[in-house]
Structure 1
């Protein structure tokens, strides 16, 4: 008898959920770690805008005035180089962690995962266990179904609005934002952004869920570039687990020709991405460890050794040792440390004052009634501190010159002021038509705050 079997039918394809994924709630060691990290992340996210420093909100990204306050330091558009340092250090830190521990960022800290599992927890509390939720969705509409669905979506919307409001508190002073919310006095622009972010949170965490991780997020696509044979990933022990199959608890699996995997399918039921880790490593896997906790529970019930599914590198699976000092890992770590050190040095050397010299190119010089040469300038001074500061200006490089400038220049925190300055000198004392000069701007309250700006003095 001859069978017509196509080659593609012989390939074992990874598990894919055809419909919505009903995540089974799971307890265990890795779930506990993620839950603690999730609470820490959410509390930190909500609390930061309420932290006060120097009588002001410690972290405020004021887009309207283009001022970004971070614990006493004010960053202006001219300081946006620090964003490049932050993004670069974050990127290399992600590469380092990925090469070391796989996609643990996605499984434990990524906001998409944190809020998705939070929404799943709400779903579990309002609609019941995984099997109860499946049964509820398949059942016809009834008062009980409407009540549970309404309660769930109401909780989701409440969390979404609170999340969006917490996010907007980074851009609008928190006390103003929340006071206006309770008084129903939000502006149209504020309302638009809050409800836009709330809609995105509600849609992403409530409906898109794993699709954001498996389809939209580019990280899942290029993560394999950072993997090597020593990267720790969630791995199923095929040699120990196969042949898989159901059995009685007291039954000897070896006599039945079975491995340790009882084919309970719980590793699939708890997976946020809906994959079957027993089919091998898949790009959708977010290294969350939920399947490990589920499998360990089953192994305990049957009296088998735990960690049939575990974090393990390819080299460990093949009986080799993992090299913790491999070149790629050390390279990512070194680059991350180098960029962070560079960013810290740049921040410490950053002067909390910005200035520039503006010349009127149509009138480089003029003669006054005494026959002396006058050069007009305008100094643009920005106070990058969070306190009102007083400054004085001095001149170097032009002996015998007179500097006409206000004796005390007061500039509010984060403000810019244009200061007219006139330099007067006798043209006969100057051998060149253009003489290099230097303006020095000193803060009266803090002698360490000073800046110099070079220019030229012209004569006829």
Structure 2
């Protein structure tokens, strides 16, 4: 009988040789994480990406474009404006396409470099770091905050705690206003908020988003990532031995131990890790990277920055904690170009090119033709055969247009009714059209015809739609 191989996953012993009790407690009470202030390369990069996201989020709704808000999702009018383009519910296929592209981008980035999205661009952590900054400004750095939390209530503690929550609420409320401002014009929303002249829709969403931001970024923080976000649970299926991840070099770092700066620690049997726990103190999810890769890790690089700074102080080589791969840690060569990564990239590029072409060649005009189903055809008083149609023409641009309607595909076919129509921006027009023809031109009971609708002032806006003209069956 073959024996099933078993891997020992017992939690490692801590630096003092005792197993950590929390490693075994699945329902341990959450302890508040006090993140220590630090500096470093990855923090600077994260600060830049976070600042770009925050500026874009707060500022885009204030940008004007051709006399209107540049980015506005006008739900009552069913119009979605993104700078110079206007999208309609009929364009939701483009949204689905965009979501698929973003999903493949996430797959590609994760297979290449792990959870970069979580560490540098996820709104949950962008706002979490924002709230941590507010906490540090009002209560001090890590040690000061721990001391303040343990101290009894006093006037000083009350002032600091109140200031922190006021700053938190200010960020949460302004974030809620900025978000709702993408659905209700921001230049109308802000005065309405200041005068408290809000409708039920705005009131509900402003309250909900403010509470959600205050709760998620202020109180829950890493709990959202650990217990609520599904990405942490399925990310491992996209990892392989060549995926860049943040890892602790155990071969170099063990055994851990404190020592003096110029001590010959090798003779003491110690590795490069001085067991300062700085990597734990700066971790926003409170894990110890030295315990190995953990699903809670959001790859923010905080432990890399602070460990490098400690190595600099001790005069050791940097990189004890670093971005690396499992193959590199084992002394093997990392394969940058591998089939799965190449496949993700190729699929992503093809979808982006097709999406870009579709977006650039999109015609801001929609034409639907409904043929009168009440009767196949009409023989009028002049003996001509008539068909009745309704043209639904939607002007999907933000300027008015005059359109010309022409008929093609059948000789002798005449159009009764206006061939020129004026349609305002964003308007959907129902335009009735009657087509007639002498019976002598009909040699069969039905014909394929085309309706051509084109803007007179812009020859790039033109659509041709097919339909059928029905007549009597020819006599034998």
* TM score, norm. by length of structure 2: 0.92
Spell out the pairing of 1:180-199 with structure 2 (5 A cutoff): 180-199=192-211
Whether 1:383 and 2:395 are equivalent positions in the alignment is yes
Alignment match, 1:229: 241
Alignment match, 2:152: 140
Whether 1:437 and 2:461 are equivalent positions in the alignment is no
Offset at 1:131? 1.6
Offset at 1:310? 0.7
Aligned partners of 2:406 and 2:419 also within 8 Å: no
> What are the Cα deviations for residues 180-219 of structure 1, in whole angstroms up to 9, with x where unaligned?
2333322221121112111111111011100111111111
Distance 1:276 1:361 in 2: 72
Structure 2 gap segments, 5+ residues each: 1-7, 14-18
Alignment match, 2:109: 97
Distance 1:422 1:275 in 2: 74
Aligned partners of 2:448 and 2:467 also within 8 Å: yes
Q: Which shifted more, 11-20 or 72-81?
A: 11-20
Whether 1:48 and 2:66 are equivalent positions in the alignment is no
Change (3 A) 1:176 1:9: closer
Aligned partners of 2:12 and 2:291 also within 8 Å: no
Alignment match, 1:418: 430
Q: 1:110 aligns with which of 122, 126, 144?
A: 122
Larger RCO (alpha carbons 8 Å, 6+ apart): 1
Offset at 1:19? 1.1
Alignment match, 1:341: 353
Q: 1:427 aligns with which of 413, 422, 439?
A: 439
Distance 2:320 2:417 in 1: 79
Alignment match, 2:463: 451
Spell out the pairing of 1:58-69 with structure 2 (5 A cutoff): 58-69=70-81
Alignment match, 1:352: 364
Alignment match, 1:3: none
Distance 1:72 1:411 in 2: 19
Alignment match, 1:4: none
> What are the Cα deviations for residues 138-197 of structure 1, in whole angstroms up to 9, with x where unaligned?
222222222111111111111011111111122122222223233332222112111211
Distance 2:364 2:347 in 1: 28
Alignment match, 1:38: 50
Aligned partners of 1:364 and 1:376 also within 8 Å: no
Spell out the pairing of 1:127-166 with structure 2 (5 A cutoff): 127-166=139-178
Change (3 A) 1:258 1:383: same
Distance 1:97 1:413 in 2: 41
Distance 2:441 2:340 in 1: 65
Q: 2:337 aligns with which of 325, 332, 336?
A: 325
Aligned partners of 1:85 and 1:340 also within 8 Å: no
Whether 1:29 and 2:41 are equivalent positions in the alignment is yes
Distance 1:82 1:417 in 2: 24
Alignment match, 2:16: none
Whether 1:238 and 2:260 are equivalent positions in the alignment is no
Q: 2:318 aligns with which of 306, 327, 350?
A: 306
Q: Which shifted more, 249-258 or 85-94?
A: 249-258
Offset at 1:8? 8.6
Offset at 1:106? 0.6
Change (3 A) 1:9 1:323: closer
Distance 1:349 1:147 in 2: 59
Distance 2:255 2:140 in 1: 34
Is the partner of 1:82 in helix, strand or coil? Answer: helix
Alignment match, 2:279: 267
Distance 1:299 1:334 in 2: 40
Aligned partners of 2:246 and 2:322 also within 8 Å: yes
Offset at 1:349? 2.5
Q: 2:190 aligns with which of 175, 178, 186?
A: 178
Is the partner of 2:404 in helix, strand or coil? Answer: strand
Change (3 A) 1:449 1:10: closer
Is the partner of 1:80 in helix, strand or coil? Answer: helix
Offset at 1:405? 2.4
* TM score, norm. by length of structure 1: 0.95
Aligned partners of 1:372 and 1:425 also within 8 Å: yes
Distance 1:239 1:298 in 2: 18
Offset at 1:25? 1.5
Structure 1 gap segments, 5+ residues each: 1-6
Aligned partners of 2:112 and 2:341 also within 8 Å: yes
Distance 1:10 1:129 in 2: 31
Q: Which shifted more, 261-270 or 404-413?
A: 404-413
Whether 1:73 and 2:85 are equivalent positions in the alignment is yes
Aligned partners of 1:364 and 1:375 also within 8 Å: yes
